[in-house]
Structure 1
């Protein structure tokens, strides 16, 4: 492979002197040499690769070249139904046999065991399986084997699953889904895509004969359409031998039906469709221009080169749209002019904008003008050079962190290779080839790509939005706007170059007045003479990454009620202002080729910063931190531009049932406290630009109150030098701040409500909050996490599987120390409104059973094993150590210490969880809300 790369590099240099480069571009792309691949006699393909991210883990995938487009009309929805059935009984694992077995080995359903169905494929996965457990690899191979050809598909399990999928159908019926069902038939007119939506027809789901499902399974789940992919910390030779032995026994289907390729009819005329819905929140304009994709057999070196051209085009167009949105009164809320994949066999050029309310005409005219500006005048050399530098920077970072490519990422590439013939390269090739090929890409190449893709053939205009109190474009109006733009004079884009340093002049810096080793976390603390605290840990799990985090006590709690709306929006706005002497547009140009960012955060009890960079751009990140603290920029034009976009975005959010529910829960859960602020279009009536600047200056002024954490792959001396120079040059003010407890609490006792919400789909949504004032400690925090995970198991079994009452119950938990110590469980699910009360009773029943009898030992063992597995994987990443340092300072204990996690888990008993649950649940405050469809008047 390396010889190929070298020859490629040499060829690209000397080709102009000898032959056309076309010969080289027609060469096949080399496959990652570390991937062992083959095809069995029965037609099944296999891919096996050794990888150690994460260590001692392995992922197993079954990739089926089978999806919803292969269904007959009486099977509409059964490709997806069949996916569900793969978890409900196989020859070697009847019922939920393999789920139970794998969960006992630390492989969790949903998180590690899952699948999805699409139009053209169905993919199953068993991810992050412990590779060292005796017999577990063999068992996972047997599961894949059964998925291929040995599903039981019993009538009993089919009937049980009808309810689950009916509830999934209900959950997915939102405004976007309903509008898609209106515009799909136009965009895909004359093709199978216009007839299928994957989830299927509810009447068929509820009533199909089991033999109809079995027929689909027999016809399409077959070895010539299947591939297995196994990637992880394994012996490739041993696994390949097991694969050949086991999977070769699966018989090939005799006289198989040809697997069709689905075409979309071409059309010269531009089509138009308006799709509306009561619950839609914004008007969107999209222009889809469909193109036949490169055939599988032509996905060669030339195809890879075109992919780089597309990437550059999209980067440059994205920068132009970003600039447009920073200035004056933006003509739309968001927009894009892009090229990319569409559906299998097709690419597309996309022109899209989210319009300001009742201004779809302005939005369409503005975004189409930008597309035409690109088509007529192309890009500039300056734009291309910046895009190339930025792309090289991201490629270099990916190469440096090639040892952090996860098992599932590798399988994603394998999947695209098997299903669509996408190149399956390795990191070495990508880096070497990318550098070489970018040198060959000219401005003419990118501009030609734009003119080839943004044409008027196979074009469809799609308008989506609310169906009341909104003026939508008609077909005639939309066509007239396109014609007006096409016949107008459009000036070329004017590029302005920026070449300046972020920080000019010498900084005074500070002295390190004390140094303390943190032996338990292999880190060091420096106290600076300006009273700032800096904590550093060298970590190279991610080779090309340095992270920054900082906090100071206070946050919104030190602000009056009248300032809370502005404080809520401040972090979003400050990022759009730029920094120092550079507005946001100039700053992006100054940072060309650099990977460095710093963002502001402002929470209830703290304010702070979060940043990231590569090791080589660490000083740039520290300069951004210095400027964000010492010389923040406040740009009123940028403020007004972003404000107008927010107001437009929020104007129709009152139609969104999810926002209605979320806002209702926020108000109820805080007892309608005056400090509970909701996002709305009118919120900006309470905010001014001057107020936002004043709040920032108040919250981010005293470095002596801040603790800074730096974690990443840089030397300690470099970190110290940069901290002294940049953090040390920030100002310290007298006094210390502390957060204030405003006594915002959940209502005492049980608060039970039923609230009617305008809904287009008959759906009940249950939200339950359970909160208790309990101490914040390592033991109680672990106990709450274990309880949450046990309840997730119980609800999956009782509410989803036995009752068929919901697609899934969401269970979350939180342990908080400030401003008062408390623990919270959050539980929510969608269901048939008629079943809401019954299913809600099961939610409480399962908690009460643990209070009365404790959890089962089996459930406890499953949860403990999975928590340990996740912890071991997390330790192999820099972010784990950043969180450990942060928690040590913020919460007062080291969460990485054995006694604060592993020893607690090892000592847990069912009696201990029972005791904790009783303490937590008894006399807890409960908010119990059911949202129901509003009855017709």
Structure 2
């Protein structure tokens, strides 16, 4: 259970910023006092290829494979920047056993989805390929390992394939460009000046991507894809002996193709002697971010001593984070949010970080506040009460991990093992982690936590300000703010909030009016005398895990959007944050410390929805929490403050991103400007109040129809009794009207082609095309639309990505509403180079016209259907499917149960004629709504 490392990083090719390990023989446990998970088989072939095999039963009949190559962008030469990632793409473009253009189609026919079941990612210090096999038949497992063996030593790297992929790489680079990534790159350059990690982003440089010839790829591939840098991970419902033999067969003959090169000199500093100040401006940023960081040498290889020290430090971080959260929630706080963490980089340096986001005009106050809180913790430490909360939460995490260990999913285990291997950490079981850490929790003191925090922050400081604050003299202004902050003496900031959860008695338990069991689905349905409906399913998929979903009232169907636009959005942001009448949100967290409970609140189209996850011991408490929010919601003023901070950030981001137009103008346009669709502007949202929220939401919570579904490791009778003690005590629930008029939503009468611009420095555009369809109540028809969309997506990949190289990940979808009558669509969403938007739009229209005129092929149908059928089999062994798709609202809409009964057979029965008919009737040129969103750099420049 290694130290939790926190870093705010843009999502860039899964950039790895933890522990660069040299290509060492053997495994981390060979040089550690920590024993590895005994369920795993570890081995090394004669040529140096390592393998890790772990039998695991969930999901049954499937296996997760990972190929870890200990090489990434840090291993590139100056003229190879970006080729480690480019090489990852080329692995799918032709190899010894799979000629160019065949591998993706082969995966699909096997029942694997590209992206979901077959994928890869490149970091600075590693490349990881992943396959989620649809079954564990010997032939399937052999094929999967053969693919990985080809990746390891049999890539063709044909020049024409390289040339054809350049546009895709550049499109991915464009898609991943963002304010967050630019700010991160600037910050890491400031924190680690002159270091290789600051200079070697995996996405690379345009000239290298555009011009590199085959020899540069071959040099990188042969040099770094060596047997001693390769590890095969296999987790799933498999036989260890047979899997070992297959690995030996496929990988045993791989040999080095070039001499080894020394590992790169990272040039990483390991300490800070003086305070430094850095700044990066992004006009498009939704807020201003402030961070204070420090550096320490890496503490050493994985060992029991280091893990225990790290856990003591983690307790200190948890307590400091809680203090910052409490301050951020206060009504007049300058903090929008805050974080603290410690993370290790490349087994060389440990970074301590505390940071916050704020409005641009409040950056000095935010800096002063996080600095004061950090100094307060370092100077005065923590209290026994604060430690008690942190320890209780850590104990709960350990206990839950042990209780659910037997049903962990293979894909998560495979990913975790690959991460541990890359970071040179010993992979241990939850039981081992608990056995190591619990004795520490029994005796740890506030003084121990203070010592750990002081050790992590014993160096100098780096202060960095980035985002949408415009500073004329950054160095002087940041230094002045820092100096002013440092002049304020620290005082103890302890939170002595001993609180208990008081909502445990809601009156006389309710009684059951009706109960029935649906044997074929193993579902129990209950109705209480007060009208509360309960759906139950006991499952073995996640040990000691229980998932809940509750629907109350009618949600946005009743929103007074014409007179109070934006009310649903404010309600979603503010309701949970308002806490309860006796406990604010922070006191509530303290009262529930050490308990496996939680609450998610959303305003859905046809209900207010509550979600939570718990275990057997805490199920009653979870239900008490739900009931307390129904009967004692707080609607506290600080909730409005937090919501409005979120509104400002969100609106700023929406205004400066092409994606923002989808959620604002375009969503409203497609609903013929129905005020319930699309996010209103900031001025409108700021005009809503908590009184309006309460007046709309609370009557529905008081009396609205209520249906709760509970799935997981439950005892049915005990669960019914727990619901009776809580939701069963509520006043009688109303019967839900049909809301026929409120369900009417229409597309505009005439199709439109609209072009939008957004002020942004990011050179990225969007192409969005929509064809009106129907709603999702006819599940037979909806499934055919889903399959048609998959065929459409595959054609987009073949044309827009592979042939044109114009987009990294073109998407097609079918969105069919289950709430609004007749409202649904088939659509396409593609991120593009702005100059290519019209060209891509024309290509999409041509694909749609061809499908409308000529239908689909049998091969297209099968390649789209096979991954869906695999997903169906897999989903049936997940709580999420049974809760969200089947049980949730199944008494209000009984047809959902029949949908579950017919799903696989219905998809299997879909014919080419079915899809041809849909394409012919719906992909009509004259009913195409076309939207293009491109940046207006002139506006962005003027906005500075």
TM-score, structure 1 normalization: 0.92
Report the counterpart of residue 800 of structure 2 in structure 1.
Answer: 799
Kept in 1: contact 2:169–2:808 (CA 8 A): yes
1:504-583 correspondence to structure 2 within 5 Å: 505=505, 507-560=507-560, 561-583=562-584
Report the counterpart of residue 53 of structure 1 in structure 2.
Answer: 58
1:638 Cα offset (Å): 4.0
1:897-936 correspondence to structure 2 within 5 Å: 900-922=902-924, 925-934=927-936, 936=938
Distance 1:180 1:885, change over 3 A: closer
Distance 1:376 1:774, change over 3 A: closer
> 1:867-888: CA deviations, max 9, x gaps?
1211111111222222312253
Distance 1:756 1:642, change over 3 A: closer
Kept in 2: contact 1:860–1:910 (CA 8 A): yes
Q: Are 1:439 and 2:445 an aligned pair?
A: no
1:650-799 correspondence to structure 2 within 5 Å: 650=651, 654-676=655-677, 678-703=679-704, 705-732=705-732, 736-739=736-739, 741-742=741-742, 743-773=744-774, 776-799=777-800
Q: What is the CA–CA distance in structure 2 between the aligned matches of 1:417 and 1:548, rounded to whole Å?
A: 32
Q: Are 1:231 and 2:225 an aligned pair?
A: no
Report the counterpart of residue 103 of structure 2 in structure 1.
Answer: 98
1:368 Cα offset (Å): 1.0
1:187-336 correspondence to structure 2 within 5 Å: 187-253=191-257, 255-260=259-264, 262-265=266-269, 266-295=271-300, 298-336=301-339
Report the counterpart of residue 833 of structure 2 in structure 1.
Answer: 832
1:534 Cα offset (Å): 2.0
Q: What is the CA–CA distance in structure 2 between the aligned matches of 1:709 and 1:33, rounded to whole Å?
A: 37
1:739 Cα offset (Å): 2.9
Which secondary structure does the structure 1 equivalent of 2:112 belong to?
coil
Report the counterpart of residue 464 of structure 1 in structure 2.
Answer: 466
1:847 Cα offset (Å): 2.8
> 1:323-373: CA deviations, max 9, x gaps?
112223012211122223345533211111112222211110011111111
Report the counterpart of residue 47 of structure 2 in structure 1.
Answer: 42
> 1:203-234: CA deviations, max 9, x gaps?
12111122112111111111121111111111
1:446 Cα offset (Å): 1.3
Kept in 2: contact 1:650–1:681 (CA 8 A): yes
**Can you give the 5+ residue segments of structure 1 that lack an aligned partner in the other structure?**
1-23
- CA-atom RMSD in angstroms: 2.4
1:196 Cα offset (Å): 1.8
1:322 Cα offset (Å): 1.6
Q: What is the CA–CA distance in structure 2 between the aligned matches of 1:496 and 1:504, rounded to whole Å?
A: 23
Q: What is the CA–CA distance in structure 2 between the aligned matches of 1:854 and 1:256, rounded to whole Å?
A: 53
Report the counterpart of residue 21 of structure 1 in structure 2.
Answer: none
Which secondary structure does the structure 2 equivalent of 1:424 belong to?
coil
1:383-532 correspondence to structure 2 within 5 Å: 383-457=386-460, 459-466=461-468, 470-471=470-471, 474-503=474-503, 505=505, 507-532=507-532
TM-score, structure 2 normalization: 0.91
Q: What is the CA–CA distance in structure 1 between the aligned matches of 2:621 and 2:240, rounded to whole Å?
A: 43
Kept in 2: contact 1:546–1:612 (CA 8 A): yes
1:897 Cα offset (Å): 5.7
Kept in 2: contact 1:270–1:456 (CA 8 A): no
Which secondary structure does the structure 1 equivalent of 2:697 belong to?
helix
Kept in 1: contact 2:291–2:355 (CA 8 A): yes
Q: Are 1:86 and 2:60 an aligned pair?
A: no
Q: What is the CA–CA distance in structure 2 between the aligned matches of 1:935 and 1:384, rounded to whole Å?
A: 51
1:904 Cα offset (Å): 1.2
1:121 Cα offset (Å): 0.8
Distance 1:408 1:227, change over 3 A: same
> 1:178-219: CA deviations, max 9, x gaps?
334433332221211222221111112111122112111111
Report the counterpart of residue 18 of structure 2 in structure 1.
Answer: none
1:384 Cα offset (Å): 1.1
Distance 1:394 1:774, change over 3 A: closer
Distance 1:129 1:270, change over 3 A: farther
Q: What is the CA–CA distance in structure 2 between the aligned matches of 1:699 and 1:836, rounded to whole Å?
A: 46
Q: What is the CA–CA distance in structure 2 between the aligned matches of 1:334 and 1:120, rounded to whole Å?
A: 31
Distance 1:255 1:683, change over 3 A: same
> 1:803-848: CA deviations, max 9, x gaps?
1111110222222232303332231112223322222222233233
Q: What is the CA–CA distance in structure 1 between the aligned matches of 2:633 and 2:844, rounded to whole Å?
A: 49
1:82 Cα offset (Å): 0.8
Kept in 2: contact 1:520–1:897 (CA 8 A): no
Kept in 1: contact 2:530–2:728 (CA 8 A): yes
Kept in 2: contact 1:887–1:895 (CA 8 A): no
Report the counterpart of residue 8 of structure 1 in structure 2.
Answer: none
Distance 1:309 1:505, change over 3 A: same
Kept in 1: contact 2:547–2:710 (CA 8 A): yes
Which secondary structure does the structure 2 equivalent of 1:795 belong to?
helix
Kept in 2: contact 1:44–1:226 (CA 8 A): yes
Kept in 2: contact 1:279–1:657 (CA 8 A): no
1:641-656 correspondence to structure 2 within 5 Å: 641-644=642-645, 646-647=647-648, 650=651, 654-656=655-657
Which secondary structure does the structure 1 equivalent of 2:578 belong to?
coil
Distance 1:500 1:859, change over 3 A: same
Pick from 379, 383, 386 the counterpart of residue 380 of structure 1: 383
Q: What is the CA–CA distance in structure 2 between the aligned matches of 1:251 and 1:527, rounded to whole Å?
A: 67
**Can you give the 5+ residue segments of structure 2 that lack an aligned partner in the other structure?**
1-28, 940-944
Q: What is the CA–CA distance in structure 2 between the aligned matches of 1:924 and 1:70, rounded to whole Å?
A: 53
Kept in 2: contact 1:532–1:707 (CA 8 A): yes
Kept in 2: contact 1:285–1:360 (CA 8 A): yes
Which secondary structure does the structure 1 equivalent of 2:564 belong to?
helix
Kept in 2: contact 1:357–1:651 (CA 8 A): no
Q: What is the CA–CA distance in structure 1 between the aligned matches of 2:171 and 2:232, rounded to whole Å?
A: 30
Pick from 162, 167, 186 the counterpart of residue 166 of structure 2: 162
1:67 Cα offset (Å): 0.7
Q: Are 1:69 and 2:71 an aligned pair?
A: no
Q: What is the CA–CA distance in structure 2 between the aligned matches of 1:337 and 1:166, rounded to whole Å?
A: 34
Distance 1:57 1:614, change over 3 A: same
1:896 Cα offset (Å): 6.3
Q: Are 1:108 and 2:113 an aligned pair?
A: yes
1:383 Cα offset (Å): 1.1
1:456 Cα offset (Å): 4.1
Q: What is the CA–CA distance in structure 2 between the aligned matches of 1:413 and 1:261, rounded to whole Å?
A: 27
Q: What is the CA–CA distance in structure 1 between the aligned matches of 2:299 and 2:723, rounded to whole Å?
A: 51
Which secondary structure does the structure 2 equivalent of 1:928 belong to?
strand
Q: What is the CA–CA distance in structure 2 between the aligned matches of 1:345 and 1:812, rounded to whole Å?
A: 45
Kept in 2: contact 1:360–1:473 (CA 8 A): no
Distance 1:423 1:867, change over 3 A: same
1:583-594 correspondence to structure 2 within 5 Å: 583-594=584-595
Q: What is the CA–CA distance in structure 2 between the aligned matches of 1:567 and 1:816, rounded to whole Å?
A: 18
> 1:381-427: CA deviations, max 9, x gaps?
11111111111111111111112222222223322332221121123
Q: What is the CA–CA distance in structure 1 between the aligned matches of 2:658 and 2:518, rounded to whole Å?
A: 49
Kept in 2: contact 1:850–1:914 (CA 8 A): yes
1:898 Cα offset (Å): 6.8
Q: What is the CA–CA distance in structure 1 between the aligned matches of 2:431 and 2:502, rounded to whole Å?
A: 34
Q: What is the CA–CA distance in structure 2 between the aligned matches of 1:89 and 1:891, rounded to whole Å?
A: 49
Q: What is the CA–CA distance in structure 2 between the aligned matches of 1:227 and 1:895, rounded to whole Å?
A: 44
Report the counterpart of residue 153 of structure 2 in structure 1.
Answer: 149
